[in-house]
C-alpha cells in the first residue's frame, strides 16, 4: 500500500500550519491551466520572520532549516488552494531567494532544504526544476523566500 501525502507528513512529524496571509497587494496563489502559482513565502520561525543573512549572521545549516520551514508553509498554502494535496500531480518549479552576504555561494545548498522535503513528501512528483539566487535583502529581513509552481488535477480559483 502506498502512503498518502498526509500519512507521509504525519510520519515526518509535520502538522501543516494555517496559511500565512500576504502582507502586500497580491494573492497567495493563482492558476493558469492546470498550473498553480504560489506567491513567494518568506522563512518564518515561531510565527515571525526568520531574519538574518547567510554567510554573515547565519550558517548554511540555518538556511537549510529555514528553507525546509518555508516549504512547510508552502505546503499549507498548496493544501488551502487545492483542498487536498493528493490533487498535486507534480511540483514543477521552485525559485529560492537567499539573503546572502557578499561572497556567500551556497544558495544551492540552502535551497536543498525545500527541495529535499518536497521530494520526501511527494516522491517522484516532488522532483522539480529550480533556481536559487543570492539577494541583497528579502522582505522583513527574512533569510529565505521561496515561490512554487505545481501542476494540479483540479484547478482552484485565485486565493
**Which CATH number does the domain 5-17+28-152 belong to among 3.30.1330.80, 3.30.1330.40, 3.40.640.10, 3.30.930.10?**
3.30.1330.40
Q: Give the SS3 label for residue 52.
A: coil
Decide if pLDDT at 1 tops 50: no
Q: What is the pLDDT of residues 3-34, one digit of tens each?
A: 799 999 999 999 999 988 877 888 899 999 99
Report the distance separating Cα 151 and Cα 158, nearest Å. 15
Q: What is the pLDDT of residue 26?
A: 84
Edge to edge, the sheet with strand 129-135 lists 29-32, 35-42, 144-152, 88-99, 129-135
pLDDT digits (tens, 9 = 90+) for 39-95: 999 999 998 999 999 999 999 999 999 999 999 999 999 999 999 999 999 999 999
What is the chain's Cα-based Rg?
Answer: 15
Confidence band (pLDDT; 50, 70, 90) for 159?
Answer: low
**Whole-angstrom distance, CA of residue 39 vs CA of residue 5:** 22
Do you know the residue count of the chain?
A: 159
Q: Is 139 or 1 the better-scoring residue by pLDDT?
A: 139
∠138-33-69 over CA atoms, to 5°? 30
Amino acid at each position: 500500500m502506498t502512503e498518502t501525502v498526509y500519512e507521509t507528513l504525519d510520519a515526518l512529524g509535520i502538522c501543516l500550519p494555517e496559511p500565512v496571509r500576504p502582507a502586500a497587494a497580491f494573492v497567495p496563489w493563482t492558476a493558469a491551466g492546470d498550473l498553480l502559482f504560489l506567491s513567494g513565502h518568506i522563512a518564518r520561525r515561531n510565527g515571525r520572520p526568520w531574519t538574518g543573512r547567510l554567510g554573515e549572521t547565519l550558517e548554511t545549516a540555518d538556511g537549510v532549516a529555514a528553507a525546509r520551514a518555508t516549504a512547510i508553509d508552502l505546503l499549507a498554502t498548496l493544501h488551502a488552494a487545492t483542498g487536498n494535496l493528493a490533487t498535486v500531480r507534480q511540483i514543477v518549479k521552485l525559485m529560492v531567494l537567499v539573503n546572502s552576504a557578499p561572497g556567500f555561494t551556497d544558495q544551492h545548498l540552502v535551497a536543498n532544504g525545500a527541495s529535499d522535503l518536497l521530494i520526501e513528501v511527494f516522491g517522484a512528483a516532488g522532483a522539480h526544476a529550480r533556481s536559487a539566487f543570492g539577494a541583497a535583502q528579502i522582505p522583513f529581513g527574512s533569510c529565505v523566500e521561496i515561490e512554487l509552481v505545481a501542476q494540479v488535477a483540479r484547478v482552484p480559483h485565485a486565493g
